[in-house]
Amino acid sequence: MATMAMGGQELMEMQGRVAGRPSSAVRRAQSVAERNRELLEQQRASRRGPTPEMFFAKYIDNTRLVKADDPERRKEMISFTVVMTVFFMLTMVYVWQHFSAIEVGYNVEAQKHQVELLREENRQLRLTEAELSDPGRIDMLAKQLGLQPPMPGQVVRQDAQQDGAVLAQAHVPVMAGR
């Protein structure tokens, strides 16, 4: 209150000084910046006093107050929540797609590596097959086991066409008596 009284008194003094000028044209010529600077200096001078300013905290109990419902604010909040939820869902879909694409990329690389391993294994197996099916090696193993070349008539080729039909016959092996 005292500050307001002092401010009002200083304002009156300033108006008196301005009113004491000879013409209103001079007053109009004074720039706004000069007037503001002068007011600021007067306010600073009024604050400098023998007594310091004191402020007191006043605690207000608002527990008994009930907030009034604002339907317009509620509509705004619902629409904001819906928009933010849609934005969040779109962002999550984008992030999910991005990470899924990265995961698929890793899976493709793993599958390519597995294909290369299987090709190498297939190449090794073909080399082993060619080595094992070498006719010179087979003849050498047959001689070591005491096998002899087949006699004429023992070998029947399946690709040779036969004139007559051949019925399938079942031969029951005879067990040697003990």
Q: In Å, what is the CA distance from 61 to each residue of 54, 55, 64, 97, 135?
A: 23, 19, 8, 52, 106
What does the alpha-carbon distance between residue 142 and residue 146 come to, in Å, rounded to a whole number?
6
Is 171 inside a domain boundary?
no
Report field, pTM of the whole predicted structure over 0.75 = no
What does the alpha-carbon distance between residue 174 and residue 35 come to, in Å, rounded to a whole number?
135
- Which domain covers residue 125, as residue numbers? 86-144
Is 159 inside a domain boundary?
no
Is 22 inside a domain boundary?
yes
Is 77 inside a domain boundary?
no
Tens digit of each residue's pLDDT (9 = 90 or more) over 28-55: 555 777 888 888 788 776 766 666 667 7
What are φ and ψ of residue 60, in 5° steps? -110, 130
Tens digit of each residue's pLDDT (9 = 90 or more) over 87-114: 999 999 999 999 999 999 999 999 999 9
Nearest one of 9, 27, 8 to 18, comparing CA atoms: 27
